[in-house]
Homo-oligomer: A and B are copies of this chain.
Amino acid sequence: MANITKKVSWSSRADESGATGEGTPLLNGSEQPRHSRQIGRLSTVDLEEEITSEEDSLRGRPKEIPHNEKLLSLKFESLDYDNIENQLFLEEERRMSYMGFRCLEISRWVVCGLIGFLTGLIACFIDIAVEELAGFKYQVVKENIEKFTEVGGLSISLILWAVLNSAIVMIGAIIVAFFEPIAAGSGIPQIKCYLNGVKIPRVVRLKTLVVKVCGVICSVVGGLAVGKEGPMIHSGAVVAAGVSQGRSTSLKRDFKIFEYFRRDTEKRDFVSAGAAAGVSAAFGAPVGGVLFSLEEGASFWNQMLTWRIFFASMISTFTLNFFLSIYHNKTGDLSSPGLINFGRFESDSVAYNLYEIPLFIAMGAIGGLLGALFNVLNYWLTIFRIRYVHRPCLQVMEAMLVAAVTATVSFTMIYFSNDCQPLGPEHTEEYPLQLFCADGEYNSMATAFFNTPERSVRSLFHNQPDTYNPLTLGLFTLTYFFLACWTYGLAVSAGVFIPSLLIGAAWGRLFGRLLAAITSSGSIWADPGKYALIGAAAQLGGIVRMTLSLTVIMVEATGNVTYGLPIMLVLMTAKIVGDYFVEGLYDIHIKLQSVPFLHWEAPATSHWLTAREVMSSPVTCLNRIEKVGTIVDTLSNTSTNHNGFPVVVQVTGSDEPAKLCGLILRSQLIVLLKHKVFVELARSRLTQRKLQLKDFRDAYPRFPPIQSIHVSQDERECMMDLTEFMNATPYTVPQETSLPRVFKLFRALGLRHLVVVDDENRVVGLVTRKDLARYHLGKHGLEELQLAQT
């Protein structure tokens, strides 16, 4: 078990020096990577930086886990959802009048409005860019195909298509792989971690947003089996993190507004709102967005926060809707609330009957099975990628290969398909391909493949019952399943929602057609669109394993609540069945990063453990008035690299643990050192101005490393008084507290450090996120136990 300690970068890209580790076995055939227990035990307080690799090399295991060395993306710090209530903070709060708090509250609403607006605008930009570029691409290819269908030599069309796709995808892959690897994928696992309290480096930066937006346009236009919806959630989160801070560190602009919000507590609230706004814009589902944020992220439910999130979601969908209506020359017609439009489900055509419910449940089970298969395949693929495809150039090449293969497979499928359908007068196909069909007919396989995935989903939901023949549907499901599975995890920005919906819609429609064939008389069974919808829900549920929020998203996207109950049943079934085999796709990817992710509850059977066994100890404590040299040495100690230090009252000449009187963070100490807040200097009263909260906020969130701060030998002899800056009332637990109890306190309050004290209030240990997260897998080997805690 010790040997499977490994880390993976979010982007499936290894570090720059990754070459050293090429070809070395990573997982030793173990299917389930685990959080490193040894490392966790060795860390004393809160290991954040190079400890992983350093400790590893100490233990003589570096050759087995070379990817860890100097991998910067591994620095998973924690967010602190607990306010640092030091004297400065309390003084500021006390100075603030009631009107001041009202203004703050109003600015929170303003920020949420802005988040919604900007997220909606970004969604709008992506949508229009994709529409225009994809339209242009399909037009070119279509004309080429039509030209060569008559004269022969369709292979030239194939090459054109494949080259076009590869070229576009190449651009997307290059910007992601070389400039901002964190922008790869849908970004949902990252946002999930962020909301859980794990700080993923660079995840909410402006650069990430730019790369993400350009990347997703390239991936979708490049014809990959991807959607543009997932990345919207990440984009919304970045917008939120940017707007709420009133500045951009990347652009080096500080607008001097919203300074109060420059701390983890506030920022995380806004990021929740941004994620919700993203979902809202992606699916036109404002309520679904709120539920997504809550289901995936929040732990403490606050009514006012929820309303602000809801407000951001509303504004986001409204903005998108409004600008798209202008783009579509139907100003004021608010009929496209999201990026994906499921089309109109009329109440009559979608009516379902009681005896169909078992069928729906069966479809949910199929979705769960297929979803589990998808996840397992993708898991293996990701392992493979980690081992062999970690250089950026390799990643770009893989993405190009996938793009070319996708085009080739699509073309082959279309070429050999003889599913010709009459082209009705009110056909909805944007680019009907005639190919070898008779005049006035079109190739229906081309409708599914030769289209943006969003359009394909819509046509599977709404086209006439006999549009696709069963063979077309079956082949499409099969090929798209593997294409989508291969695509997810590439170094491109792209989401898995739409491919999942598409796969599910295809087999759902197939299911419906088969049913109709079996029960030739049943008129109500005749509508395969209904089964396509249920299939889509089942497949998506089987892959991502959300229930409540996904139900609402689907209902809002279809615009019809009639299907609420069946969709719920299907999603529940898919989740139960899928969870039996493997976790959800996002959780798999989170686990592959060894992220210290805290689930909702401690493992059920963990009452055996107490804080004493869980905590890290001994703890590096600081005295209330401490020598600067000691502080600098403590912070510089790369072998520990602690982030939080209990402050204790001085014990003269005693080796006993000292009494707790506060807690101070590395970031605070850094600011104090930078401003040279030393007792001796304070006495001179000349060089010294009183340090304010503003100084801490200006440094947030990118506090300089200790190495960048110069402390002279004389200064090392000075003293620092921490009283004013430490959090004087940190949360504590006694040593005998059981793990579930510690976990509950830690999780409910979103803590970063929890001090363990004995019955004399002396510090005996410190519990951090890693101490708790370590247990939900490490303790029980059973796969089932894991599922119970998800």
Query: Which residues of A approach B to under 8 Å, CB–CB?
Result: 83, 85, 90, 93-94, 96-98, 101-102, 105, 286-287, 290, 294-295, 298-304, 306-307, 310-311, 314, 317-318, 322, 325, 331-334, 337, 344, 346-347, 352-355, 547-548, 551-552, 555-556, 559-562, 564-565, 568-569, 572, 600-601, 604-605, 607-608, 649, 659-661, 728-729, 731-734, 736-738, 741, 744-745, 748-749, 757, 759-761, 780, 782, 784-785, 788
- A318 near B659 with CB under 8 A, answer no
Q: Which of B347, B353, B788 contacts A559 (CB 8 A)?
A: B347
Question: Which of A287, A605, A736 has its CB near the most chain B CB atoms (within 10 A)?
Answer: A287
The 8 closest A-B pairs by CB, nearest first: A101-B604, A332-B354, A93-B607, A729-B737, A301-B301, A761-B761, A748-B748, A559-B561
Which B residues touch A346, using CB under 8 A? 347
Instruction: Point out the residues of chain B lying under 8 angstroms from A749, CB to CB.
Output: 744-745, 748
In chain B, what residue has the closest Cβ to A301? B301
User: Which chain B residues lie closer than 8 Å to A659 at the CB level?
Assistant: 759-760
Tell me the complex Cα distance, A626–B780, Å. 41
Cβ-closest chain B residue relative to A347: B344
State the Cβ distance, A417 to closest chain B Cβ, in Å. Answer: 35
Cross-chain contact B90 with A607 (CB below 8 angstroms): yes
| Copy total for this chain | 2
- Whether A548 lies near B290 (C-beta < 8 A) is yes
Contact status A600-B304, CB under 8 Å: yes
Is the pair A547, B307 in contact by a Cβ cutoff of 8 Å? yes
Q: Nearest chain-B residue to A310 (Cβ)?
A: B548
With A98-B785, A300-B748, A732-B732 known, 4 other A-B pairs at CB within 8 A are A287-B564, A311-B572, A325-B354, A559-B562
CB-defined A-B contacts under 8 Å, sample of 13: A90-B607, A94-B607, A98-B782, A287-B548, A287-B552, A295-B303, A295-B306, A307-B547, A314-B569, A318-B565, A555-B561, A556-B564, A729-B736
Collect the chain B residues with CB atoms within 8 Å of residue A661's CB.
Answer: 759
Given contacts A344-B347, A548-B290, A548-B307, contact A98 B564 (CB under 8 A): no
Q: Distance (Å) between the CB of A644 and the closest chain B CB?
A: 17
Is B303's CB under 8 angstroms from A301's CB? no
Question: In the bound complex, what is the Cα–Cα distance between A325 and B737 (angstroms)?
Answer: 53
Q: Chain B residue with minimal CB distance to A661?
A: B759
Q: How far is the CB of A333 from chain B (nearest CB, A)?
A: 7
Residues of B within 8 A of A732 (CB): 732
Question: Please, which residues of chain B bring their CB within 8 A of the CB of A600?
Answer: 302-304
- Chain B's closest residue to A298 (CB) is B301
Structural contact, B572 and A738, CB atoms closer than 8 A? no
Given contacts A310-B548, A559-B560, A564-B556, contact A759 B761 (CB under 8 A): yes
A94 to B739, CA, bound (A): 12
Residues of B within 8 A of A788 (CB): 101-102, 105
**Best-buried of A83, A564, A749 by chain B (most CB within 10 Å):** A564
Cβ B565 vs Cβ A317 within 8 A: yes
- Which of the residues B101, B601, B605 comes within 8 Å of A605, measured between beta carbons? B101
Are B85 and A738 in contact, with the CB atoms below 8 A? yes
Residue of B nearest to A750 (CB): B748
A239 CB to nearest chain B CB (Å): 21
A729 / chain B contacts, CB cutoff of 8 Å: 733-734, 736-738, 741
Contact B785 A601 (CB under 8 A): no
A555 to chain B, nearest CB (A): 7
Tell me which residues across on chain B come within 8 A of A98, comparing CB atoms.
Answer: 604-605, 780, 782, 784-785
Residues of B within 8 A of A298 (CB): 301
Question: In the complex, A569 Cα to B311 Cα: how many Å?
Answer: 9
Chain B neighbourhood of A559, CB < 8 A: 347, 560-562
A788 to B99, CA, bound (A): 11
Pick the most buried of A353, A605, A728: most chain B CB atoms within 10 A of its CB.
A605
How far is B310's CA from A608's CA once the two chains are assembled, in angstroms?
32
Q: Across the interface, name the chain B residue whose C-beta is closest to A732.
A: B732
- Whole-angstrom distance from the CB of A302 to the nearest CB of chain B? 5
CA distance A745 to B90 in the complex (A): 17
B302 engages A300 (CB within 8 Å): no
Shortest CB-to-CB span from A767 to chain B, Å, is 13
Residues of B within 8 A of A352 (CB): 334
